[in-house]
A and B are shown apart, each in its own frame.
Chain A
Amino acid sequence: MSRARRVTRAPAHLTHLARLAIVAIIAGTFDARAMLAQAGALDALRDDAAREVIRVAVAKASAKGVPTAPMLTKLQEGMAKQAPAARIAEAVQLLGARLEIANDALAVAVSGDEVAAGASALQVGVGASVLRELRKRWPVAPLTVPLGVMTQLVASGVPVARAAAQVRSLLDQGATPTQLVALNGAVQADIAAGMAPGVAFTLRVGAVSGSLSTVTTPPTGPAQPSQPLRPKP
């Protein structure tokens, strides 16, 4: 006679909690790894003052819930490029400030990548108001790609106001991240071929816009650019 195996199943809410715990443990592990890597990278920086500036900047960002991974990456970049320690510290500080502004403007941010993309956009001159408006219109949609494309366009010479307004308009018309990236790729290729950035952007936006159906009314008025964060003289 076989004995029936007793199968126990945890209540659904407990299973969910267990999953959350596992996610938390994994996330904690990654965070610990990041902290360890950061500590290692910081230890390798042979300048006490610069090390302290970076440590304070990272701690300040972390306390405000700002993702600190981009700051670690900037530290690694500076060390890999053998930049002076003071300059690395300044770059990490500046990035921390931009991450904080982006984090506030995009609240509640979908991901750390989104905040990093927002910080990059701020660096090239896109205003925090543009970030806030994008988040207001698309509260749950990831903005990493739209912000990244905007940054690339501005960095390539497209005026900030036009890049911001057109990307926002394309999003209004239902453009997908892939379409935005393709638009940017085409603009970059035109610029590499010698076309003026503004002209290339106008032509390519027209082509993409024509292939999209209008979903909502395009926003009125251009975005207001602001000055990028720069080192103080």
Chain B
Amino acid sequence: MGLMGLIPFVVAGVARAQGTVVTLDAGAASVSQPAFSPTAAGFVGAGLRRSGEQLSWVAALALSAGGEGALASVATAGAEFVPRFASWWRAELGASLALFDGGSASGTSRSLTTRHVVAAGPLAFWATGALGDMQRRVLASDNTMVALGGSAAMGPAVVGVEGRQWRTADWALIEAAGYTLSRAASAYNLRDATVSVQLRTAPLDWFVSGSWRRGWQATTGSSRAFTAGVQAALTPQLGLSVFGGEQLADPVRGTPEMRLVSAALRWRWNVGGAASTLPAFAAVGRALVERAADGATTLTLEVDAPPDARVEYSASFSAWAAIPLARDGTRFRVRVPLPPGSHRVALRVNGGGWGPPAGMARVDDELGGAAGLVVVP
């Protein structure tokens, strides 16, 4: 069971890439569960992600092998939709199938998860719902989880908070974590709170988190887990991640409470050759044209996009060269002087399609897209 809990660290992160990205992972870990002696394990994984302008999909497979012949495998597939008309909203749908064979703990686990993320400048809010189905020998259980969370980007740091509520009948998983029922009940109920901090100090990404869990209604018990990790970009294609800490039991995916220390190498191949690791979409920015008393006219373009996005504008007055917008406070912004005449302007994010900013008349570019039109006297 513990090996399966290791795998999410392999398959996680095959996300947010532009074009087609293939990843290969290999690593080793030391895993210990309550009432079990620590065991060493090795794991390998492969992932594939294809990102379109609005729709992206991901598939990943990971295998893990540990002492005493324990084996686990997890296959995941997911899709992510960022509509062109509302790029501040992202909808995700994911499914996973896990098979594990560890003597008395052989079985399967299936889960379906959906998440909706709303981004507003440096802030993001999300709601998650998950259903899980666990088959372990004669035990079968249906499990659910709902979560609400939010994050705030502050310079290179992102601070996140999430609250989760679980309902599960997987007594083996929950009682192994020290929870009991104070009276007869059809399910165990748990509530979590997690605080995480991610810090980007290229070429290193740091991550720490703390989670607190308590039983509620008929469920009694509590636990907490602290984790820390770092990812280093050794080359543009090769990364090293080191992770250590505790993990609370995940009833939806059937992974137990455990401690682990792991190290893994990830090789990443960007098939399309694009360097960005972010979803691409046409920007929904704003344009503001201001005319000073002396007649000088300036154009201000503003775009709400994640802090690590690559936002560019292109215009007839710059020979249509793509020019990046700099991050200014909570959004991307650029201010350019406009000479007299008729000008066309377009915006894009992370290499996505070019689109006209709001506040400008939209004209067909006859090239398959559109641009904003502004006239300066």
Contact = CB atoms under 8 A, between A and B. Distances in A.
Is B truly associated with A? yes
Given A87-B367, A155-B363, A181-B375, A80 B342 contact: no
Interface in A107-135: 113, 116-117, 120, 123-124
A83 B371 CA distance: 14
A225 interface: no
Given A76-B320, A116-B342, A152 B291 contact: no
A94 B364 CA distance: 12
A117 B344 CA distance: 11
Given A80-B321, A83-B368, A152-B375, A181 B363 contact: no
B179 interface: no
Interface string B341-353: 1101010000000
Main secondary structure of the interface of A (DSSP, over half): helix
A87 B373 contact: no
Interface in B304-345: 314, 316, 319-322, 340-342, 344
Interface string A77-90: 11111010001101
B366 A81 contact: no
Contacts, number: 97
B376 interface: yes
B367 A189 contact: no
Interface residues of A, number: 41
B34 interface: no
B316 A77 contact: yes
A29 B243 CA distance: 63
Nearest to A185: B289
B342 A73 contact: no
A113 B360 CA distance: 19
B364 A81 contact: no
A184 interface: yes
B342 A113 contact: yes
Contacts of A148: 342, 373, 375
A132 B361 CA distance: 24
B222 to A, nearest CB: 51
A105 interface: no
A61 interface: no
B365 A91 contact: yes
B3 to A, nearest CB: 46
A178 B291 contact: yes
B236 interface: no
A71 B122 CA distance: 41
A126 to B, nearest CB: 12
A91 B371 CA distance: 14
B155 interface: no
A221 to B, nearest CB: 26
Contacts of A192: 358-359
Nearest to A121: B342
Contacts of B90: none
A177 interface: yes
B354 interface: yes
A153 interface: yes
Interface of B: 289, 291, 314, 316, 319-322, 340-342, 344, 346, 354, 358-369, 373-377
Interface of A: 73, 76-81, 83, 87-88, 90-91, 94-95, 113, 116-117, 120, 123-124, 144-145, 148-149, 151-153, 155-156, 176-178, 180-182, 184-185, 188-189, 192, 231
Given A94-B366, A144-B375, A148-B373, 20 more contacts: A76-B320, A77-B314, A78-B367, A80-B314, A80-B321, A81-B314, A81-B320, A81-B367, A81-B368, A91-B367, A120-B342, A120-B363, A123-B366, A144-B342, A145-B377, A151-B361, A152-B361, A152-B374, A152-B375, A156-B362
